[in-house]
Structure 1
């Protein structure tokens, strides 16, 4: 995966990147330093830090998401980005002019812990653009509202022998993703730092069931996901509220699929490859019944989670 792609604010460069700031404590970093196998779900404690802004130099950040229609997103430094574990989470960020909610969308290799690099649009909602760097408070949002139900994008080059899928609109941090091909049991996928979930030996030809679980124990299973590399397959599932949801796709008209596509975000870019076309298949909700048990410490620690608001380890 290519390095973080950005056009830096001149004022940020003049500031020399600022000092190391207090803020996030990554569970992944705790595990790396201590070798401990225990961790707690993220806290929502409000923390203090600094914010700068940047403009994308490509059509996507390191999380491999399409740019949000509202253009409100954030890039995190290495400890906070945690090799992609923070992708898709939401933060409430408060600055001198007010508060904005942003999606974790990108990585910022140069950013210290507590330094949030916002989209220009997000920065202007909470501070004066001319300042370039501002003091902020921020916190992780639990069960945030998302702009659409869960979607799945199969990566280019994927096949029955190499499975790779990106999941969007899951709201909370994910701990696990498992995939079952036709006539097969579930196999655990591993997450990459560019936010795709891989099964190196593949999961068969499909269609697939995809079961995902977040840090709060919410679990959702999707069915009818096809091997369509480069296509975004939309579902009707929303993974909040503590219920197990099974979603199955049914055909819809091309016009309806087109109407559901988000409007392109305005941004400054130096490269603009075409975004993948959305699938014409639309879902219908099949069931929503089961309340899962609370996640165990071992389950939460199974992935390199970042603790977006400084939770203490629990043993």
Structure 2
């Protein structure tokens, strides 16, 4: 079992196992033009597949989010989970009884592409619980409504020498996160498969500015993020629909501990050169993972315009 894989929950899988209906077309989503990355917006085409459901069993999903208040979430197979790049996106899923909007919250190691493992609550909105497995249609949602503005959670064990933060309520898939400490320049963070953004050499003691960019090019910068491990810090800004001006973190709230399966990290690490070189601002944080998520969640991209 992977170190970052969720504990295997109680699942409701029908006997047999229908063939996966979803197909993936392999195309590149980033075109290189003059040395800078040009992201093509993903299409919102409808895809077909199947759905099952599972019970979380009191643990956090692999995306390290708190359970949504409406209990509507989905776990994706390895191709579509894309090492965490799909975390926080929203899918509209239609089944025999109707439609439901779910947040990408977890990974399902045994699920093939097109197999969506829904929360029991979500499954019951679109199908009969006794069926166990149903045929569905689903699509990626662009600029969905979210419960509130962007939140930032600093991971337990983080310090001025090792930065790790989880971003929530970003609506669309995130392409990159950059962090600047007091008086410092922005450093590019890289995303882990448990959905924290890391800078191995740290970003100072804070407070921090975080520059967030989604796959559509929407960018916002939040400031006033403190080094408060384990605390969800609420901001007053969003990152969907349009670029935003700098906003400050407004409130903090207690948060459950991060997944126990996340790697242990020391409270302080001697300062040293980062083991991950900072990326240029135009580059994706982890080459391939965000593009893979777009491929598998959204299908063919629309033609890119890089003029």
Tell me whether the two structures share a fold, i.e. TM-score over 0.5: yes
Structure 1 residue 312 displacement after superposition: 4.1
After superposition, residues 179-194 of structure 1 pair within 5 angstroms as: 179-194=179-194
After superposition, residues 1-315 of structure 1 pair within 5 angstroms as: 1-12=3-14, 14-16=15-17, 18-23=18-23, 40-250=40-250, 275-276=256-257, 302=287, 304-305=289-290, 306-307=293-294, 308-312=297-301
Gaps of 5+ in 1: 32-36, 252-256, 262-273, 278-295
Structure 1 residue 41 displacement after superposition: 2.9
CA separation in 1, counterparts of 2:224 and 2:107? 32
Q: Output the TM-score relative to the length of structure 1.
A: 0.79
Structure 1 residue 21 displacement after superposition: 2.9
Structure 1 residue 156 displacement after superposition: 0.3
CA separation in 2, counterparts of 1:22 and 1:245? 40
Q: Residue 80 and residue 111 in structure 1: after superposition, are their counterparts in 2 closer, same or farther (change >3 A)?
A: same
CA separation in 2, counterparts of 1:30 and 1:215? 10
CA separation in 1, counterparts of 2:146 and 2:216? 17
Deviations along 1:112-152, whole A, 9 cap, x unmatched?
Answer: 00000000000000000000000100000000000111000
CA separation in 2, counterparts of 1:186 and 1:64? 25
| Aligned-partner SS, 1:130 | helix
Contact persistence 2:219–2:242 (CA under 8 A): yes
Contact persistence 1:25–1:80 (CA under 8 A): no
Structure 1 residue 238 displacement after superposition: 1.1
Q: Residue 122 and residue 81 in structure 1: after superposition, are their counterparts in 2 closer, same or farther (change >3 A)?
A: same
| Aligned-partner SS, 2:149 | coil
- The number of aligned residues is 271
Q: Residue 314 and residue 186 in structure 1: after superposition, are their counterparts in 2 closer, same or farther (change >3 A)?
A: same
Gaps of 5+ in 2: 32-36, 259-280
Contact persistence 2:162–2:200 (CA under 8 A): yes
| Aligned-partner SS, 2:289 | coil
| Aligned-partner SS, 1:164 | strand
| Aligned-partner SS, 2:249 | strand
Q: Output the TM-score relative to the length of structure 2.
A: 0.80
| Aligned-partner SS, 2:201 | coil
CA separation in 2, counterparts of 1:303 and 1:109? 19
CA separation in 2, counterparts of 1:190 and 1:28? 21
Deviations along 1:213-250, whole A, 9 cap, x unmatched?
Answer: 00111101000000001110001111122122311135
